[in-house]
Structure 1
Amino acid sequence: MRNSMLTCCFVPPPPSGDEERGPPNMEAPLKKHLFFFDFDETIVNENSDDSVVRAAPGQTLPAWLRDTRREGHYTEYMGRVLTYMGEQGVREEGFRAVIEKIPASPGIMGLFQFLKANQDLFEMVLISDANSYVIETWLCATGLRPLFRCILTNPASFNSRGYLSLQPCHSHSCPRCPANMCKRKLLGEYLAQRVEERGGRPFDRLFYAGDGANDFCPSVLLGPADTAFPRHDYPMHRLVRETQQSSPATYRANVVPWHSGDDILHYLKKLLGR
């Protein structure tokens, strides 16, 4: 099992175009804001594990396999699903065909156009309980991959038999989160590492956009200057509301629920005066 945040972190190659290089012998200016994005039902409008199953024969799984799913151990279950699909002859081209068709969430592409135009302000990280193959494939197909400095997720790759193999991201002791991933631990480790790499200089603001119950846990780390973007009436939003009502002092972040990426975009434009 993976124990270091770095083992599930994938960094894109540096830009190669002269127009994206800074002046010689000068460090690039530090970005002001750190933005974390979930993937399933946040960037994309589906659960990508469900999408991947469409590559299976008949686009479904046998009941005996579905019955092996256990609460809190979903990644183990998906490992069995991927092994089964490999045994049924599903190979990379089959997975890629369905992954590239996963729809983006409403308004998300417009939000990323804004973030791309303001890359000088934002360092962006994707933190997801999906897997590296699905995420990398979708981001590359949509042209969004270069926007993310890092992807924190469960590693997945094709083995010698041509099967897509899935591994857990890390171990942790959080009782709230599934056995393979605590996003709060990942966010905390990443933030501490980056502040150290920045010579102790913190980010001005943190932003977190998500939808699921496992997105609530990391959002608790946000402070009064930071903003959580829970998808409206999804599990993260419901947990935020419950916490604000029962223990308001324990949840310090600003909260901006979203139906569409346009809601996040409008908030950022107003906040930044853009």
Structure 2
Amino acid sequence: LMNCTPLSSLYDRYTQRFLVLFDFDETIIGESSDDAVIRLLPGQQLPAWLTNSFREGHYNENTQKVLAFMAEQGVSEESIRSAVEKIPAAPGVLKLLQFLQSRQQDFELVVVSDANSYFIQAWLERAEVRHLFRKIFTNPAGFDTNGRLVLLPYHSHSCPRCPDNMCKQAILREYVADRQRERGGAAFQKVFYVGDGANDVCPSLALGPQDVAFTRRGFPMHRLLVELQRSAGFKANVVPWVCGEDIVDCLERILKER
């Protein structure tokens, strides 16, 4: 996407009416960044002993083992970065980001992802869209002197629904409250959450009746939200998407309401 405006001037100039939160894997990009990197291994897959050691809800711990194994196999930082940069965007997402850039006076954008900072920064910079996002919430990661990508958990929390290293609802609630204070008490008119996975359900539960959960059609988040909608507990509007243009269409209609 076009010219990079410095974040400070971009966000000091406007008080955006709307907040858009994006997941990363299989939402901004078309597949899991972990899968793309694992294909760098001999045989393009993990050994059975490592796959069998996975524990549900311990993504961060599992991925630390994978990254240590990759370093042992001699997979370099250059090849990892290149593999991440080459991941295609999800269908129509670059057009969606182009639309949001054209309406930056209305939309504030953040990433909330259980991937890691190295993968996300590398991809967004190569796609020339990093400047669009005010904040990236994800697990910290960086290469050590031995050439190993070291991953840390984002935070600790007490939410029983979420992996032990990240509760996206806690991040969403804290960010919205912080931004309202920073904006002199001005709340966002609407919050939009764009996701695909089971861990995108928890933050969607914090959305109100004026907000929208954009859920990738046919993915776990979509199936789970359809079930939740049958109960009286889910407040937000649910809009399934197949491509970024579906989200653009909905946002354009909302902009025309006022």
Query: Is the shorter-chain TM-score for this pair beyond 0.5, marking a shared fold?
Result: yes
Q: Given the alignment of the two structures, is residue 216 of structure 1 paired with residue 201 of structure 2, yes or no?
A: yes
Aligned to 1:7: none
1:111-136 CA-partner distances (Å, limit 9, x unpaired): 11100111111110000000000000
SS at match of 2:135: strand
Q: Given the alignment of the two structures, is residue 176 of structure 1 paired with residue 161 of structure 2, yes or no?
A: yes
Picking from 151, 156, 172, the partner of 1:166 is 151
SS at match of 1:257: strand
Aligned to 1:55: 40
Q: Distance in 2 between matches of 1:125 and 1:272?
A: 19
Amino acid at match of 2:249: H
SS at match of 1:255: strand
1:147-179 CA-partner distances (Å, limit 9, x unpaired): 000000011000121110101110011111111
Picking from 140, 148, 154, the partner of 1:155 is 140
Shift of 1:218: 0.3
Aligned to 1:264: 247
Shift of 1:21: 7.4
Aligned to 1:4: none
1:2-30 CA-partner distances (Å, limit 9, x unpaired): xxxxxxxxxxx97199xx679xxxx6231
SS at match of 2:158: coil
Q: Given the alignment of the two structures, is residue 142 of structure 1 paired with residue 142 of structure 2, yes or no?
A: no
Aligned to 1:253: 236
Amino acid at match of 1:253: A
Shift of 1:51: 1.0
Distance 1:34 1:265, change over 3 A: same
TM-score where L is the length of structure 2 = 0.94
Aligned to 2:178: 193
Amino acid at match of 1:259: V
Contact 2:7 2:131 in 1 (8 A): no
TM-score where L is the length of structure 1 = 0.89
SS at match of 2:119: helix
Structure 1, unaligned stretches of length 5 or more? 1-12
Q: Distance in 1 between matches of 2:7 and 2:188?
A: 26
Q: How does 1:15-94 map to 2 (within 5 A)?
A: 15=6, 28-94=13-79
SS at match of 1:256: strand
Q: Distance in 2 between matches of 1:33 and 1:106?
A: 23
Q: Distance in 1 between matches of 2:7 and 2:239?
A: 36
Q: Distance in 2 between matches of 1:267 and 1:31?
A: 18
Structure 2, unaligned stretches of length 5 or more? none
Q: CA RMSD in A?
A: 1.9
- Percent of aligned pairs with the same amino acid: 54
Q: Distance in 2 between matches of 1:105 and 1:146?
A: 19
